Amino acid sequence: MDELVLVFSGFSGVGKSTLINHLLSELGDDASLTVSCTTRAPREGEHDGVDYHFISHDKFDQLVRCGEFLEHVQYCGNRYGTLKSAVNDVLRNKKICILDLEFEGAYSVLHGNAFDFPCVGILILPPSLRSLEKRLRARHSETEESLKLRLTEAFQPKRIAKYHHVIVNRNLESAKVELLQIVKSYIAK
């Protein structure tokens, strides 16, 4: 099996993490999720080096200056970045590297494909824009303006076009099957 990078994006609450975890359990030792760096504080139950590398803004700046990131973004007041070394570590030990990125980071990775091997973008969407809007409103985390911005930004054709596959999560079990079929089609190549 050749090396493969899978880039996942989707709004929170859309089932992205569940689908990634399902894929990880199905692929076993053949795949791993990279551990990103973030300046946000750990949530309860999260561990440094496992969920994220939780680092300071200064350390983050230093890594940016040294060119250590494959991509990095500012998102909801915090910074997130994928270390080139994290991707290489996964690919050295396993075959499939999974990245879970917000839209901007995913766009930069998919747009600039920095790899010599397949890098496949998979976008997970909710069944309708309305259901997504309802979910985002229910979280009370958005202002009217930021809600509109997030919805329009996410559905920009130029962004969506960068993904190789779009999975609409109408039913979790079907979405799991669809995802596995997609990934297996690359493994078989």
Residues with a known catalytic role: 43, 139, 150
* Shortest distance (Å) from residue 7 CB to ligand 5GP: 10
Least Å distance, CB 25 to ligand 5GP, is 19
Tell me how far apart the alpha carbons of residues 185 and 180 are, in angstroms, rounded to a whole number. 8
For CA atoms 108, 129, 166, 32, give the dihedral sign: positive
Query: Using the rule CB under 6 A, is 80 a contact of ligand 5GP?
Result: yes
Window contacting ligand 5GP (CB under 6 A); options: 96-104, 137-145, 158-166, 179-187:
96-104
Asked if 102 touches ligand 5GP (CB under 6 A), the answer is yes
Q: How many residues does the chain have?
A: 189
- CA quadruple 48, 84, 16, 9: dihedral positive or negative? positive
Contacts of 12 (CB under 8 A, 6+ apart): none
Q: Which amino acid is at 106?
A: A
Which range binds ligand 5GP by CB under 6 A, 94-102, 110-118, 157-165, 167-175? 94-102
Site membership for ligand 5GP, residue 54 (CB under 6 A): no
